Amino acid sequence: MDGQISRKNLFLAAFTGIALPSTVRNAFAQTTGSFSLDDIAAMERVIGFSLTADQRKSLQPSIKELRDQNLALSNLKLPNWVAPAFAFHPVGRQPAESKRTEVRLSKRPAPTFKSDDDLAFMSVADLGVLLRKKQVTSVKLTELFLRRLKTYGPKLLCVIDLLEERAMREAKQADEEIAKGKIRGPLHGIPYGIKDLFSTSEGRTTWGAGPYRDQKFNEDSAVVEKLRAAGAVLCAKLSLGALAMNDVWFEGTTKNPWNPAQGSSGSSAGSASSVAAGLLPFAIGTETLGSIVSPSHRCRVTGLRPTFGRVSRYGAMALSWTMDKVGPIVRFAQDAAPILAAIHGKDPRDTSTVDRPFSYRPDIDFGKLKIAVLQNDTALDEDDKEGGPDEALKILKSLGVKVEKVKFTPPLDGADYCLSVEAAAAFDELTRGPGIENLKNSMWPAIFRANEFGTGVSYVQSMRARTRVMETFEKELAPFDAVLTSDRGSFLLITTNLTGHPQLYVPMGNGRGVSLIGHLYDEGLLIALGEAIQAKTGTPLLRPDLTKFA
């Protein structure tokens, strides 16, 4: 752009107060700062608006006031975690407010293991049985997973920081409590990792981005607080694509353990990669528009995106205040239940959170269920395979589930505009300052700059479009208990990230998988369905060949 200075460039910079490359800024500095009728006409073309010459003339004083207002707001330099003075809540069928939480895991004998590898790929539930029967200790498990993180983390580029001292301290405390018979629950003594956009009282919180690589908050996020209360042992901060986009962070591309030549997808890249490689029993990720489901699909693990507002985001980097969600990534679907049970609930520090009951039990009556199968199921991109969820469909039918093919309505064009605008607002200070130049190999700078030129009217219209999307999806979902789709959910991945409905990704093997989408706050049913499918396929027992990373 430096070599192509135009009145349009100058006007856009003046109108929004956004920083443009140096030659453009310097050229504009020599102008009067007033706005001509041609300036206003240029902006009309940008936003798709049309005025007469007299209407443009009448706007000249107001345009300057609007520019001054934009500059005043940007000069506030609001921290990323300051949320807007409104909260988004999904609309649709949902249970009444309640803190009731009930998780009934399948009863199982103490599992056997012959090697550390067997332990590393064991389910959270089985590891919990071994801990409570005192056949292993939390210290032993923590040392095992720390070794694996040190060995394979640098090769997979899935670890940003190890929290070794903290992990060993928490593991020793867990062992002491378990020895005294003080069992906090099914996660007590279980090691885990967390996406590095959550603040922790020790170590960095880099958001995967060069401008923030040395950032520290010295405070635990809400999710870390709740998992600590459940007795889980935090071992590592895991990689994410810079500012929660794709799998590229400031040290490189996080890899898929099943295919060293392939990135792990994003943005919960390290969370999915580490669980797939047996470096951790479970990890916490986030999703705004596919960031749990997509890496789970690529890395062949199970990812749960809970209902929007189910889990507090306090202490997490904000990308979209109305779309960000927090959820677990595991190998075995059932393991998602005790994790969600531990982290859900209302938090006054996150005004979007609510108290809704959470219940999981595996012994549901499948014969009473009616599942919709997405009829207009199409691949999102080349990552998804053509064809429907045939194998999972056969399994559900064999369990007595009633199924019906249904054509759902795709989301309205422009309904997701709110995401890019909120992201630009969250990183307005970065965009207007020199730090944006340190955000390498990322599409964010262009997106942030472009959305500085968006309008408040368009943002409100996109939120109104979301209302229509919620109403339509709720109407089409109403006759069914859940929806089954291939791979990442086709266009329903976009729809349900806008509506706030929960989604569970279940790998089926060979890079294929299915998604289960449910009613608001009905994650327990999705987990039960996922567990039933996995019991027939045995997919979670498969292990990637890590000798490729030796």
Backbone torsion region of residue 58, taken as left when φ is above 0, otherwise alpha when ψ lies between -120 and 50, otherwise beta:
alpha
Give residue 63's pLDDT. 87
Give residue 15's pLDDT. 43
CA torsion, ordered 57, 59, 60, 61, to nearest 10 deg: 130
Do strands 512-518 and 482-486 pair parallel, antiparallel, or not at all (unpaired)? antiparallel
Mean pLDDT across the chain: 93
Give residue 17's pLDDT. 45
Q: CA gyration radius for the chain?
A: 24
Claim to verify: residue 541 and residue 394 sit in the same structural domain: yes
On whether residue 244 sits in a domain, the answer given is yes
Closest alpha carbon to 493 in 224, 223, 178, 265: 265
pLDDT in tens, 175-198: 999 999 999 999 999 999 999 999
Mean pLDDT of 92-118: 93
Q: Contact 463/418 with Cβ under 8 angstroms? A: yes
Claim to verify: residue 268 and residue 384 sit in the same structural domain: yes
The three-class DSSP label of residue 542 is coil
Q: What's the structural domain count of the chain?
A: 2
pLDDT band of 388, cuts 50, 70, 90: confident
Claim to verify: residue 243 and residue 327 sit in the same structural domain: yes
Claim to verify: residue 381 and residue 488 sit in the same structural domain: yes
Claim to verify: residue 397 and residue 504 sit in the same structural domain: yes
d(CA 281, CA 287): 20
pLDDT in tens, 455-506: 999 999 999 999 999 999 999 999 999 999 999 999 999 999 999 999 999 9
Claim to verify: residue 405 and residue 491 sit in the same structural domain: yes
d(CA 367, CA 371): 11
d(CA 314, CA 291): 18
Mean pLDDT of 401-423: 97
pLDDT band of 33, cuts 50, 70, 90: low
Claim to verify: residue 63 and residue 124 sit in the same structural domain: no
pLDDT band of 3, cuts 50, 70, 90: very low
Give residue 18's pLDDT. 52
Indicate if the pLDDT at residue 158 is higher than 50.
Answer: yes
Question: Which range of residues forms the domain containing residue 337?
Answer: 115-412+460-549
Give residue 26's pLDDT. 38
Indicate if the pLDDT at residue 6 is higher than 90.
Answer: no
Indicate if the pLDDT at residue 11 is higher than 60.
Answer: no
Q: Tell how far CA 470 is from the center of its chain.
A: 20
Indicate if the pLDDT at residue 122 is higher than 70.
Answer: yes
Higher pLDDT, 108 or 353: 353
On whether residue 326 sits in a domain, the answer given is yes
pLDDT in tens, 293-324: 999 999 999 999 999 999 999 999 999 999 99
Give residue 351's pLDDT. 97
| DSSP one-letter string for 22-37 | HHHHHHHHTS-----H
Claim to verify: residue 275 and residue 211 sit in the same structural domain: yes
On whether residue 101 sits in a domain, the answer given is no
d(CA 118, CA 24): 60
d(CA 83, CA 301): 32
Count helices and strands in the chain by DSSP H and E runs: 19, 17
Claim to verify: residue 170 and residue 319 sit in the same structural domain: yes
pLDDT band of 434, cuts 50, 70, 90: very high
On whether residue 441 sits in a domain, the answer given is no
Q: Contact 463/265 with Cβ under 8 angstroms? A: no
Higher pLDDT, 29 or 175: 175
Tokens of 39: 């300036």
Neighbours of 259 (CB within 10 A): 14
On whether residue 276 sits in a domain, the answer given is yes
Task: Identify the domain boundary among 77, 104, 138.
Answer: 77
The three-class DSSP label of residue 241 is coil
Claim to verify: residue 50 and residue 130 sit in the same structural domain: no
Query: Active-site residues: which are they?
Result: 195, 267, 291
- CATH number for the domain spanning 295: value is 3.90.1300.10
pLDDT band of 265, cuts 50, 70, 90: very high
Claim to verify: residue 65 and residue 123 sit in the same structural domain: no
Helices 37-47, 53-74: crossing angle, 10 deg rounding: 80
On whether residue 23 sits in a domain, the answer given is yes
On whether residue 143 sits in a domain, the answer given is yes
Indicate if the pLDDT at residue 217 is higher than 70.
Answer: yes
Mean pLDDT of 125-137: 96
| Helix or strand run (H / E) with residue 160 | strand 159-162
Cβ-Cβ contacts under 8 Å for 173 (sequence gap 6 or more): none
Closest alpha carbon to 337 in 327, 323, 326: 327
On whether residue 309 sits in a domain, the answer given is yes
| DSSP one-letter string for 454-485 | --HHHHHHHHHHHHHHHHHHHHHHTT-SEEEE
Q: Is the pTM of this model over 0.85?
A: yes
Helices 138-156, 124-132: crossing angle, 10 deg rounding: 150
d(CA 546, CA 541): 15
Q: Contact 375/407 with Cβ under 8 angstroms? A: yes
Claim to verify: residue 31 and residue 125 sit in the same structural domain: no
Indicate if the pLDDT at residue 396 is higher than 90.
Answer: yes
Neighbours of 427 (CB within 10 A): 26
Could you tell me the sign of the dihedral formed by the alpha carbons of 198, 203, 208, 210, in that order? positive
